[in-house]
Structure 1
């Protein structure tokens, strides 16, 4: 099934090597069936992602060998993202699961028919390039914003020069680093909006990851705001 193996230290944190981690993420996507979703063979999918490997090593290589623990500090060096142009959200969200869990992720019924397609990337979070794959660097779960009004959290992150995650990027984060989602430390995805006050979010429901939404003006004690340092394609 999924290839989620990484070097684990005695403390339970992950040992990060950028090149090995990039290869693992490609294998994970391949084992989950992303090539077929994108209408490609595994070899073609690997070729599509391959040009991004050097950038991952260059930007995240400084962290090589350094232990990191997504569950504890809510941070991940980088993830490989496949956008909905290649793999529909409705098909990729069920491919996620909690760390150590068996139940598949799901899209909440609060997304009325046809509404999910309207949650597109904001201008600031627009995925780079046109190949349908990109890298997201320096990701933070954003639990410091648990209990904050989402619109205030988004403004604070913009002031720091950070970018909000899209729905596809949130799914990529869950796919490659399922340890990131823990009880009372879930996250909103302010990089995808539909023109109204709804802000997408991923949290835990029925022992599985759920993609839902919350109002931009309503705080939740268990819901922070995910962000990243940069994108690259």
Structure 2
């Protein structure tokens, strides 16, 4: 397969589930998703409040990508969605066993640095063969909210678990990703170094984009 033999990256242990629940509360997630802060805390405790091997995620039906992206911060600058992706919330889970619950856990997250310079078309079957599931865009945003160092310049990632299905049953060739803006073009200079939700073509390769994935998802 294409690409260099770089190492996959888990970016170290996550904050505890209890700490993640508090972080979501501080970000205003109870108001955004309609889930009381006490309910988030109770879910985290019920799942094992001290656990650092799982990401606490709000279901995308409750907290879409367009609402989550501005919560991201880097160098004091808020995250944003590129202007040519006004349909970002229509990118939905594809062949993902997503729990039907307002809150769930994602386990075994990896940034997929080993697949940098692969195309989404090449990476998806490889992840499937490894028994890994690609992250959804909203899951990727949750990850960076809880663990900002997951997003590094030249070490960013795609979230190809989210796809946009067209009216004819096929898929839009755009695939979502999260990276760091250079402040060029329509991003604007004021957004240099800000976290950015954008897209890349299904068949294109990028040396600075891995493919974030997980080993599983679970509800309590």
TM > 0.5 fold call: yes
The alignment's C-alpha RMSD in Å is 2.0
> When the two structures are aligned, how many residues end up with a matched partner?
193
Partner of residue 150, structure 1? 120
Change beyond 3 A, Cα 1:199–1:152: same
Is 1:104 the counterpart of 2:104? The answer is no
d(CA) in 1 for partners of 2:211, 2:35: 34
d(CA) in 2 for partners of 1:87, 1:221: 30
Q: Deviations over 1:53-84 (max 9, x none)?
A: 37x74xx6xxxxxxxxxxxxxxxx32111122
Superposed, 1:48-59 pairs within 5 Å as 48-53=43-48, 57=51
TM-score w.r.t. length of structure 1: 0.77
Partner of residue 23, structure 2? 28
Greater than 6 Å deviation, 4+ residue runs: none
Task: Give the drift of 1:126.
Answer: 3.6
d(CA) in 2 for partners of 1:218, 1:169: 22
Is the helix fraction higher in 1 or 2? 1
- The higher-RCO structure (CA 8 Å, 6+ apart) is 2
> Are the aligned partners of 2:115 and 2:211 in contact in 1 as well (CA < 8 Å)?
yes
Which runs of no fewer than 5 residues in structure 2 stay unpaired? 1-10, 165-170, 182-191
Partner of residue 65, structure 1? none
TM-score w.r.t. length of structure 2: 0.81
Which residue of the other structure, out of 76, 81, 84, is the alignment partner of 2:60? 84
Q: Deviations over 1:19-48 (max 9, x none)?
A: x71111011000000011122432233234
Which runs of no fewer than 5 residues in structure 1 stay unpaired? 1-12, 61-76
